[in-house]
Amino acid sequence: MKELLYLNKYLLKYKYSLLVGVLCIILKNAFAAWQAPIVRKIIDHVGSVSEKGKILPDVVQAEYKWGVIQYLGLMLGLAIISGVFLYLHRKIIIGVSRHIEYDLKNEIYLHYQSLPLSFYRRNNTGDIMNRISEDVNQVRNYLGPAIMYIMNLILMFFIYIPLMLSVSVKLTFYTLFPLPILALSIFLINNRITKKSMQIQQSLSSLSTFVQEAFSGIRVLKSFVRENDSSSRFNDQSNIYRSRSLELARINSLFFPMILGLVGLSMIMIIYIGGEEVLKGHISYGNIAEFLMYVAALSWPVASLGWTSSLIMRAEASQKRINEFLKTKNDIHSGSDQSNIEGKIRFENVSFTYADSGVEALKNITFEIDAGKTLAVIGNTGSGKSTLANLLLRLYDPKEGHITVDNKRLPALQLQHYRSQIGYVPQDVFLFSDTIRNNIAFGANQIPEDKILQASKQADLYHNIQSFPAGFDTLIGERGITLSGGQKQRLSIARALVRNPKLLILDDCLSAVDTKTEDNILENLKELMHNRTSVIISHRVSSVKLADKILVLDAGKVVEEGTHNDLMQGETLYKEMYRRQLQEEEN
């Protein structure tokens, strides 16, 4: 249960509602418990009246009817009142579990957003989603039904057992003695339930990840005609989940026959031992019926022990998985400096290695670019260009060296304020399943319409948008599936430009557009980048030749540095790339 201790803060938050719910459970059981003594009185009343009926049948019949009507009316009243409190305690306690579910999901989601990019490189999307959905649902079952039924059982014992003992200690003992056997059985089987529950949640995470990847990459899957293979792999994953779920179901299925058998044994003991006690004159026939009602009332709460134990074990397994992520700390710490940046950037002996893969992406990088200037970074695939952009955004921190902006080290700057002044166009464009307008305006709050139009024109996207029947209100589908590759990139550029950023980072964002469109975009960006620090990352020389400074990266190192004219002098790597790309365009 130690993993579930994390939830105590939420139980304390809603303690008053829970106390009211517990009070309703007490009242429900108190009114329900008094129905058994009334049944005893009815039977004893009938017995006494039948003796009198041998002498005064007419008078006794009227007495019998009036007595039974009184008792039945009292039972009906108790049942109605008990039912009202049953409704209230279920409404309150299950309602609290829903509130805690809401709070826990929000806590997990906010924590996810605070974690660094390295967390998402280590964990797959399906597993991350499963912990905030299925695992939280398992925890809610503990907070709601499990706690409610356990509290109900405990309070029933405190109310019913004193009533039973007041009638017959001996009969109470024989009625309740199967319960320790039940408790021992639950204890012995709990470890297996925990193990199987953890395996089920892991299987469900793997299944969710597979489905998410299959539908996200549906175009690739169809293009390579791998539908049958994908279905086969899905079937294999589903079989694993099914077999593990069936194993847990088989374990759980042992509880109910065992519990019902023990309840039946209690009833047999009541009838047998109770009959002996009646013959001895210690109790009445009505007391036997009373005890049978007590056992009937206790049978479902006791029978639910197996089910609630399963809920608790599954919740513990799920909360353990949730706690693993909640205990993950963000190694990107924010400073307190919220001053606006001018844009002077300096990398000083910066090296970076990806911890999860061990790949050394950057090696002893040093350069400087003044505020308002344009820096271009060019290199072949895998040279470390995107890593440089990630470090500048503080998605990662360098393992060695320092990065400064306006002569201030990045860790000293308030992270959210710093990023709010950056316009970033990633290499891997991500668009939301929303309208074109909302995708452009995503990066800031309450963007005026004229700013959205201006940004679309600067990204050379305006005429494309006008050709769509719904214009800026066109829904672009998941990840912008209805747009071409070039349109996606230009929409991503417009999203960065509409923020009017102090620092603009374009990470190979023109790779999917033709040369003419590229020239149009760069021409539009000239005025925008004037007196604004810009970092253009590309593998195409045509995108970077107008920069104030060009860095040529190779295998994570700066091998050449200068302007376009400087780098075209002599036999340089930059010149070789320029010639090769020029030949490709001519062909």
Q: What is the pLDDT of residues 256-265, one digit of tens each?
A: 677 777 777 7
- Write down the pLDDT at residue 122: 82
Burial 429-446 (b: 16+ CB within 10 A, else e): bebeeebbbebbbebeee
pLDDT for 24 beyond 90: yes
% of the chain with per-residue pLDDT over 90? 12
- Write down the pLDDT at residue 117: 82
pLDDT for 104 beyond 90: yes
Q: pLDDT for 330-387, tens place per residue?
A: 888 888 888 888 889 999 999 998 877 778 888 999 999 998 888 988 888 788 888 8
Could you give the C-alpha distances from 108 to 299, 343, 360, in angstroms and in order? 39, 35, 32
Q: Is 502 helix (H, G, I), strand (E, B) or coil?
A: coil
Higher pLDDT: 357 or 468? It is 468
- Write down the pLDDT at residue 267: 81
What's the CATH number of domain 427-500, 3.30.1490.440, 3.40.50.300, 3.40.190.10, 3.40.50.11540?
3.40.50.300
- Write down the pLDDT at residue 26: 93
Chain centre to alpha carbon of residue 251: 28
Sort 76 into a burial class: Cβ within 10 Å, 0-12 / 13-18 / 19+.
exposed
Sort 234 into a burial class: Cβ within 10 Å, 0-12 / 13-18 / 19+.
middle
**For the chain, what are the domain ranges?**
2-326, 337-421+503-587, 427-500
Rounded average pLDDT over 427-438: 84
Band of residue 20 on the pLDDT scale cut at 50, 70, 90: very high
- Write down the pLDDT at residue 57: 57
Rounded average pLDDT over 379-399: 86
Joined together, the tokens standing for residue 465 give 């948008």
pLDDT for 87 beyond 90: yes
Q: Is 560 helix (H, G, I), strand (E, B) or coil?
A: strand
Band of residue 99 on the pLDDT scale cut at 50, 70, 90: very high
pLDDT for 51 beyond 70: no
Band of residue 12 on the pLDDT scale cut at 50, 70, 90: very high
Rounded average pLDDT over 218-235: 82
**Reported pTM:** 0.74
Could you give the C-alpha distances from 270 to 40, 257, 264, 285, 422, in angstroms and in order? 14, 20, 10, 11, 78
Rounded average pLDDT over 552-580: 84
**Cα–Cα distance measured from residue 385 to residue 362, given in angstroms and rounded to the nearest whole number:** 9
337-421+503-587 shares its CATH topology with 427-500: yes
- Write down the pLDDT at residue 447: 83
Q: Which residues pair with 337 in a beta bridge?
A: 413
pLDDT for 59 beyond 90: no
Rounded average pLDDT over 278-300: 81
Rounded average pLDDT over 553-570: 85
pLDDT for 105 beyond 90: yes
CATH of span 337-421+503-587: 3.40.50.300
**Cα–Cα distance measured from residue 575 to residue 564, given in angstroms and rounded to the nearest whole number:** 9
Which range in 90-104, 119-133, 161-175 is most confidently predicted, on average pLDDT? 90-104
- Write down the pLDDT at residue 306: 67
Rounded average pLDDT over 130-151: 88
pLDDT for 60 beyond 70: no
- Write down the pLDDT at residue 97: 92
Third-level CATH fold of 2-326 = ABC transporter transmembrane region fold (1.20.1560)
Q: Provide the edge-to-edge strand list for the sheet that holds 503-507.
A: 422-425, 503-507, 533-538, 374-379, 549-554, 557-562
